[in-house]
Amino acid sequence: MTQELNEIPWSEPLLPPDIDPAWEAELKRRGGNGSEVDRRIAPSPWLREACLGINTGQASEIPAHLFNVAALVTSQENACRYCYGANRAYLKMLGYSEAYIRRIETEAHLAELNDKERALIAFCRNLARSRPRPARAELEGLVRLGYTLAAAHELALWIALGCFYNRVTILLAVPPEQGFEQWVLAKRFRLMLMGPVMRLLAERRRRGKRDPQATAETLGAGDYGTVLRPLAGLPGARVMKGALDGAFASPVLSRAVKALMFAIVARSLDCRPSEAEARRLLAAEGYSEAEVDKALSTLQSPKLSQSEARLLPWVRDTVHIQTAQAQSRTRELAAAIGGPAALEAIGVAALANATVRLAMLLE
Amino acid sequence: MSAEAAAWLLAAVALAAGALAWSSARRARLFERLHAETKLRLEQLQREFERFAPPDLVERLTEGRGDVAPQRRQVTMLFADLQGFTSLCDRLDPALTVTLLNDYFRHMSEAIQRHHGHITELVGDGLLALFGAPETNPWQCRDAVLAALDMRAALAAYNAKLRVQALPELRFGVGIHTGEVIVGVMGAGELNKFTVTGDPINVASRVEGLTREHGVDLLITGDVRAELDERFRLREMPPVNVKGKPEPIRTYHVESIAT
Whether residue B32 and residue A108 make contact (CB cut-off 8 A), yes or no, is yes
A216 — pLDDT class (breaks 50, 70, 90)? very high
As a whole number, mean pLDDT of residues B8-37 equals 85
Residue B153 and residue B195 share a domain = yes
C-alpha distances (whole Å) from B77 to each of A131, A267, B125, B195 are 22, 21, 17, 11
What SS3 class is residue A190? helix
What are the residues facing A263 on neighbouring strands? none
Are residues B103 and B38 located together in one domain of the fold?
no
pLDDT per residue as tens digits for the range A282-313: 999 999 999 999 999 999 999 999 999 999 99
Q: CATH classification of A36-208, choosing from 1.10.510.10, 1.20.1290.10, 1.10.1240.10, 1.10.1530.10?
A: 1.20.1290.10
Residues B97 and B202 in one domain: yes
pLDDT of residue B257: 92
Closest-CA residue of A relative to B230 is: A298
Same CATH topology for A36-208 and A226-362? yes
**Which one of B56, B136, B229 has the shortest CB-CB distance to A298?**
B229
Between CA A351 and CA A156 the distance in angstroms is 14
Domain that holds residue B198: 66-257
Does residue B60 belong to any structural domain of this protein? no
Q: Is the pLDDT of residue A82 over 90?
A: yes
- The span from the CA of A168 to the CA of A47, in Å, is 9
CATH code of the domain in which B103 resides: 3.30.70.1230
Could you read off the pLDDT of A41-60 as tens digits, one per residue? 999 999 999 999 999 988 89
> Mean pLDDT, to the nearest integer, of B238-253?
89
pLDDT tops 80 at residue A100: yes
- Neighbouring residues of A244: CB distance < 8 A, sequence distance ≥ 6: A222, A223, A224, A228, A351, A355
- Which residues of B fall within a CB distance of 8 Å from A1? 43, 46-47, 55, 58-59, 62
The answer, yes or no, to whether residue A135 has pLDDT greater than 90, is no
Give dist(CA A312, CA A308) in Å, integer: 8
Are B138 and A267 in contact (CB < 8 Å)?
Answer: yes
Q: Does any CB of chain A come closer than 8 Å to the CB of residue B36?
A: yes
Instruction: State the alpha helices, DSSP H only, in chain B.
Output: 3-49, 55-62, 85-91, 94-114, 140-164, 199-214, 222-225
Is the predicted pLDDT of residue B144 greater than 80, yes or no?
yes
Task: Indicate yes or no: CB of A132 within 8 angstroms of CB of B67.
Answer: yes
Determine the distance in angstroms separating the CA of B59 from the nearest CA of chain A, rounded to an integer. 6
Residue A36: band (very low, low, confident or very high) from pLDDT cuts 50, 70, 90: very high
Residues whose CB falls within 8 Å of the CB of residue B192, separated by 6 or more in sequence, listed in order: B185, B186
The per-residue pLDDT for B64 is 64
CA distance B213 to chain A (A): 30
Average per-residue pLDDT for chain A: 91
Q: CA of A1, closest CA in chain B: separation in Å?
A: 6
Tell me the pLDDT band of A334, cut-offs 50, 70 and 90: very high
Contact of A68 with chain B, judged by CB distance below 8 Å, is answered with: no
Contact A80, A169 (CB under 8 A): yes
Nearest to A299 among B39, B43, B139 (CB): B139
Sort out which chain B residues have CB atoms less than 8 A from A296's CB and list them.
Answer: 138
- Predicted pLDDT at B66: 57
ipTM value: 0.82
For residues B10 and B126, membership in a common domain is answered with no
User: With an 8 Å Cβ cutoff, is A103 touching chain B?
Assistant: yes
Which pLDDT belongs to residue B67?
Answer: 61
Residues 117-146 of chain B with CB under 8 A from chain A are 135-136, 138-139, 142
Alpha-carbon radius of gyration of chain B: 28
Which pLDDT score is estimated for B71?
87
User: Which long-range CB contacts under 8 A does A147-153 form with residues at least 24 apart?
Assistant: A147/A116, A147/A120, A148/A61, A150/A60, A150/A61, A150/A233, A150/A234, A151/A61, A151/A62, A153/A61, A153/A230, A153/A231, A153/A234
Q: Is residue B80 domain-shared with residue B167, that is, in the same domain?
A: yes
Give me the pLDDT at residue A176, please.
Answer: 95
pLDDT category at B91 given cuts 50, 70, 90 is confident
Report the percentage of chain B scoring pLDDT > 90: 57
B125 in the same domain as B31: no
Compute the distance between CA of residue B240 and CA of residue B252 in angstroms, rounded to an integer: 12
The answer to whether the Cβ–Cβ distance between A99 and B39 falls below 8 Å is no
Q: Is it the case that residue A112 has pLDDT exceeding 70?
A: no
Q: Cβ contacts of residue B60 below 8 Å, gap of 6+?
A: B67, B68, B134
Q: Residues B103, B192: one domain? A: yes
User: For chain A, first and last CA: distance in Å?
Assistant: 28
**Looking at residue B226, what is its pLDDT?**
94
**For A314, which residue in chain B has the nearest alpha carbon?**
B115
The pLDDT value recorded for residue A67 is 87
Interface touch A108/B142, C-beta < 8 Å: no
Quick check: B46 and A108 CB within 8 A? no
Give dist(CA A35, CA A37) in Å, integer.
5
List all residues 6 or more positions away from B245 whose beta carbon is below 8 Å from its beta carbon. Answer: B203, B206
Q: Does A294 touch chain B (CB under 8 A)?
A: yes
Average the pLDDT over B78-88 and give the result.
Answer: 90
Chain centre distance of CA B146:
16
Question: Domain A226-362 adopts which CATH fold?
Answer: AhpD-like (1.20.1290)
Residues of A numbered 106-135 whose beta carbons fall under 8 angstroms of chain B's beta carbons: which are they?
106, 108, 131-132
B26 and B108: one domain?
no
Q: Indicate whether B10 pLDDT > 70.
A: yes
Which pLDDT score is estimated for B63? 66
Is B28 in the same domain as B144?
A: no
Residues B131 and B22 in one domain: no
In A285-338, alpha helices (H)? 289-298, 306-309, 311-316, 323-337
Asked whether the bond before A132 is cis by omega within 30 degrees of 0, the reply is yes
Same domain membership, residue B169 and residue B72:
yes
Same domain for B158 and B209? yes
- Cα dihedral value A236, A237, A241, A242, nearest 10: -30
- How many angstroms separate the CA of residue B229 from the nearest CA in chain A? 6
Domain boundaries, chain A: 36-208, 226-362
Among A70-74, A153-157, B23-27, B229-233, the range scoring the smallest mean pLDDT is B23-27
Residue A108 is predicted with a pLDDT of: 60
Q: Using the beta-carbon criterion (under 8 Å), do A131 and B135 form an inter-chain contact?
A: yes
Q: Are A91 and A143 in contact (CB under 8 A)?
A: no
Question: What does the pLDDT read at residue A26?
Answer: 92
Is 80 exceeded by the pLDDT of residue A90?
yes
pTM score, two decimals?
0.87
Contact A298 B67 (CB under 8 A): no
Residue B65 has pLDDT above 80, yes or no: no
